[in-house]
Amino acid sequence: MTLTLIDVLQWAGCFAGLAGAFTLALGPRHGGLGFAFFLASNFLWIAFAALADTPGLLVMSLGYMVTSLLGLYQWVVAPVLRAKRATGGRAAPWMG
């Protein structure tokens, strides 16, 4: 069996999405990583949908990419901004 690029994109997107769901299910401590997996999955599915000429999947994947970016913002960027505001504009001690 020979894997084509479209096969690799499909299965990599599948496994990245499952990794994102599993990581989020572990609890809030791993939320940022879960959304990073989802974002990787979104990019893979977007590439797959473009190559496979499936516009419905392409639109859905673009929408999911927006939710993944929002999740990354909420879990990674917003806490850094809150910590910065709490310390008067200085980086939090754990940020180096």
The residue type of 15 is F
Q: State how far the Cα of 16 lies from the Cα of 57, in Å rounded to an integer.
A: 16
Checking if the pLDDT of 92 tops 70, the result is: no
HSE-CB for 45 with a 13 A CA cutoff: 23
Q: What is the pLDDT of residues 46-87, one digit of tens each?
A: 999 999 999 999 999 999 999 999 999 998 899 889 888 888
HSE-CB for 56 with a 13 A CA cutoff: 0
**H helix or E strand, kind and range, residue 87:** none
Checking if the pLDDT of 90 tops 80, the result is: no
Q: What is the pLDDT of residues 25-40, one digit of tens each?
A: 998 888 889 999 999 9
Q: pTM of this prediction?
A: 0.82
Checking if the pLDDT of 96 tops 70, the result is: no
